[in-house]
Each structure stands twice: as C-alpha cells, then as structure tokens.
Structure 1
Amino acid sequence: MQDIKIKSVRFDESEVQSLVAENLRDLSERYGGTGDDTPITADDFAAPNGDFLVAVADGELIASAGWRRHGDDAELKRMFTTQTARGRGVARRMLAAIEDSARDAGCRRMILETGDRQPEAIALYESAGYVRVDNFGYYKDHPDVLSYGKSLLPDFAG
C-alpha cells in the first residue's frame, strides 16, 4: 500500500469540499435526495471543539473524517473513503486517528449516525467496538438511521 499521510485541515478548504461533495454524492446514490442535510459549518470542526482530518496518498485526498463536540461526546461526521481507496484499511486508520483527536481534546465518547444502507460502515464501526445507542441528532427520527457510540476513555463505560 502506498504511503498515506493523515493530517488535520480546515473543513472549508476547496479541496476538502470536493471530497465532501463526493461523499454526499455517494450518500445520495444510497438514500436519494442530497445525501445528508445535517447543518454543518467549518467552525464545527475548529479546535478545541472539533477537528477535520484527511488521508492523502500520492497528493490526492482519499478519505476524510471529522468530529464536533456534542457535550462531553465527540460526534463523528463526514467519515468517507473514496471508491479507489476502499478495502485497504484506510477507513480503519482514519477512524483510529479521529478517535485519538477527540480523546486528546478531552471527549469521553465518540457517537455517530449512519444509515442502514451502509453495510461496510456498520461493519467497520462494530468491529472497532462501537455499540448501538439511542438515536440522536438531525436524523434521530428517521427509520433508516442507526446510532452508535464508543467510549474513548478507559474509565468511562458510557
């Protein structure tokens, strides 16, 4: 596998927004509509209340993941791996990096929403120790939404 660098970036950078647009197209193909209407701003991912990471290989952005503070929790947003980078462990590396970022900022748990038409995402989260939690957030009342959580600190069982 080629060298992959994971780095923190501004969410509103044009190259990052191109990757986010690819993510939304993927979601739109799975669910219809615009893919995800959750209100998000660049400030959501600004320290100390968030971070946005990308994976870069051969000068190209191949994956993204961000978190934003949700009380004592970090909410995972815009987790995405490009089609050409899938199946090579990039998503697992991104998930570990975004968990580290949130943990370093003092968050106790990572929470996320995903959908029932994303079996590869569900498999990744469950294999990484995420368990179902009560639905929350923008899509909490949608029937195809699945919410997950994982403790980021060893002394927290939530």
Structure 2
Amino acid sequence: MEGITARPESSHSDDAARLLAGAVAELNRRYPEFGATPYDPTEADQPGAAFVIARKADGEAVGCGALRPFREGVAEIKRMFVPEQYRRRGVSREIMVGLESAAEAAGYDWVVLETGVRQPEAIALYEKVGYDRIPNYGRYEGDDLSVCFAKKIKKDTRRELIL
C-alpha cells in the first residue's frame, strides 16, 4: 500500500482507542482461553515510550504499535495491530520502522517483543525485518503459547542483551 506513514502520535486519540480495541478483540479471538489485557494509553506518556500510528495518505489510521522501556538500553514492542482489511500491504513493516526509529531516538540499543504461536503472520514479519528468536523472558518464561524476539537496533553497541 503506497503512501503509508507511521510515526509517534498520542495514544489518547480516538484513532488509538479504536485500533487498541481491535487489538484486544483480535487477541481474544485467537486466544479465547485468556482475557487479553487492554493496553494502558498512559504507558506511552512515560519517558522512553512511544505510540506509533500508521496512516494512509488521506489520514485514515490503519495500524498501531507501542514501545515501552523494558531494561536499561532495551525497549519492548507491544500491541502491534493492523485491521484485517489492511494486512499484507506493508503497513506492519512501516509500523516497525516507526517503532525502531523511536527506539533509536530514545537511545535504546535493543528491542524485544513477544507474540503468540497462533499469530504466524506476526512471527513471519518479525523474522523478515531482522528479529531473532530468543528464550522467552519475564512473564513469558515457560509459556508454550509465547514466542519472543530481539533485534539490535544500535549497531555499534557493545551492550549485551540482558533480560
């Protein structure tokens, strides 16, 4: 899809609320045995955090993703979501570019993320854009439904990824 831009915006907008509600509905559809935790928009207000919205040239919001501090030098991507009618058009890649740019601007060396085994298209995306699988971290340790990834975004860093 041509003309897509993804950049940091307020997580408190109507567009953000609509996209985040779509993300929760999608997670609940794929993982009905769990209740998806809604994203708290105030997370994007903290230092080192960002909320990215992808928009078509006409301004329509077609996807989102969030970035939050995880550990020193490490950011975590959360709530990547693109409505079904806009998938497979490059929107997710643009969101990843926007999130990685925000992470780099905030001084992070690494980005980590978690997705689920029932989201093969997300797994394929992360692998295509250079993320490597890592052992499940934090609350995802021992969770057979989770798959975790990491990417070094600051190429000249000597900082090791510590989870």
Same fold by TM (over 0.5)? yes
Aligned in 2, Cα 1:139/1:35: closer, same or farther, shift over 3 Å?
A: farther
In structure 2, the residue corresponding to 1:70 is in which secondary structure?
Answer: strand
Root mean square deviation of aligned Cα:
1.9
Aligned in 2, Cα 1:155/1:48: closer, same or farther, shift over 3 Å?
A: same
Q: Equivalences for 1:78-117 in 2 at 5 Å?
A: 78-117=79-118
Question: Is it true that 1:49 corresponds to 2:20 in the alignment?
Answer: no
Counterpart residue identity of residue 16, structure 2: V
Matching residue of 2:137: 136
Matching residue of 1:74: 75
C-alpha distance in 1 between matches for 2:143 and 2:36: 12
Question: Is it true that 1:19 corresponds to 2:10 in the alignment?
Answer: no
Instruction: Work out the percentage of aligned pairs sharing the same amino acid.
Output: 33
CA contact (8 A) 2:4 2:54 kept: yes
Counterpart residue identity of residue 20, structure 1: L
In structure 1, the residue corresponding to 2:140 is in which secondary structure?
Answer: coil
C-alpha distance in 2 between matches for 1:31 and 1:142: 13
C-alpha distance in 1 between matches for 2:114 and 2:30: 15
Counterpart residue identity of residue 55, structure 1: A
Q: TM-score, length-normalised on structure 2?
A: 0.87
1:17 Cα deviation from its structure 2 partner: 1.0
Q: Equivalences for 1:57-72 in 2 at 5 Å?
A: 57=56, 58-71=58-71, 72=73
In structure 1, the residue corresponding to 2:115 is in which secondary structure?
Answer: strand
Q: TM-score, length-normalised on structure 1?
A: 0.89
Which shows bigger deviation, 9-18 or 22-31?
Answer: 9-18
In structure 2, the residue corresponding to 1:88 is in which secondary structure?
Answer: coil
1:33 Cα deviation from its structure 2 partner: 4.6
Unaligned runs of 5+ in 2: none
In structure 2, the residue corresponding to 1:142 is in which secondary structure?
Answer: coil
What does the per-residue CA deviation read over 1:6-36, in whole Å, with 9 as the maximum and x for residues that have no partner?
2322212232111111111111111115652
CA contact (8 A) 1:132 1:148 kept: yes
State the aligned residue count: 157
Aligned in 2, Cα 1:25/1:6: closer, same or farther, shift over 3 Å?
A: same
